[in-house]
Homo-oligomer: A and B are copies of this chain.
Amino acid sequence: MKRTTTTIAGLAPTTLERLRLVSTATLTTQLFKRGLRNTFVRGVHRVSRPGPNLVGPAFTLRNIPSREDIDQLKVFEDPEHPQRKSIETVPPGHVLVVDCRGDTGAASAGGILLARLEVRGAAGFVSDGCVRDTPEIAGMAFPVYCAGGSAPLNLVRHHAADTQRPIGCGGVAVYPGDVIVGDGEGVVVVPAHIADEVAVDAAEQESLEEFVTAEIRAGRPLPGTYPPNDATRARYAKWRGRRAKK
């Protein structure tokens, strides 16, 4: 499944591309510099095949606890059921982000729904609950992040309540349109209004850290190297110049 570089309204064209190349660790540092300390989704990891970063704006789905008289299998016959509707309406390039209140007692999606998401061109799936069919999902290239595998169907614990409202996911606020980035460590939520500048600064930070790592590997001590003092910054400027020429 080839993911195309979606142009997202309100984001600089290069922002998504930059975010595909930086780590969630770097992004949390950039967000910390801007006063945001709670941006990394807790308890969530990639359960699909390792691969490039997940990047895309959030499309949100919210679950509340299920109730036995409402949440029976027949609900899925209604095409307006919010879970099913969300999968049919998430725009290409967007990430379906699901609020499960961190409840891991049931799935919030399974193999068939995730296959449909992939076919529809969604960028990925993030849930602070679980998914089912994880043995099958482990082989998918489509990026799926969640708290793990849980076989019971969603109705055992979850009632899909609404879509495209602000939610919490893994303890972090997610507003529709916030930029979701996932790598091998986890998922970070970048507020939409600062995504462009964060992407630029994160890319620059990673360039510097690549240089610093090489210096450390070559035997330099932390003081003066990390964080870099003026001498190190000067060496970095040269290194960067040489790089740019290649």
Report which A residues bind B (CB closer than 8 A): 23-25, 27-29, 32-40, 42, 45, 64-70, 73, 76-77, 79, 84, 87-88, 101, 104-105, 107, 110-113, 115-116, 119, 132-135, 138, 149-153, 155-156, 159, 161-162, 165-168, 171-174, 183-186, 188, 191, 209, 212-213, 216-217, 219, 221-223, 226-227
Contacts and interface: CB of A to CB of B under 8 A. Distances in A.
Q: Identify which of A34, A73, A116 gathers the most chain B CB atoms within 10 Å of its CB.
A: A116
A28 B156 CA distance: 10
Contacts of A34: 69
A183 B101 contact: no
Contact of A23 (B151, B165, B173, B209): B151
Given A112-B226, A226-B112, A68 B152 contact: no
Contacts of A138: 184
A156 B73 CA distance: 22
B216 A116 contact: yes
Contact of A37 (B79, B156, B184): B156
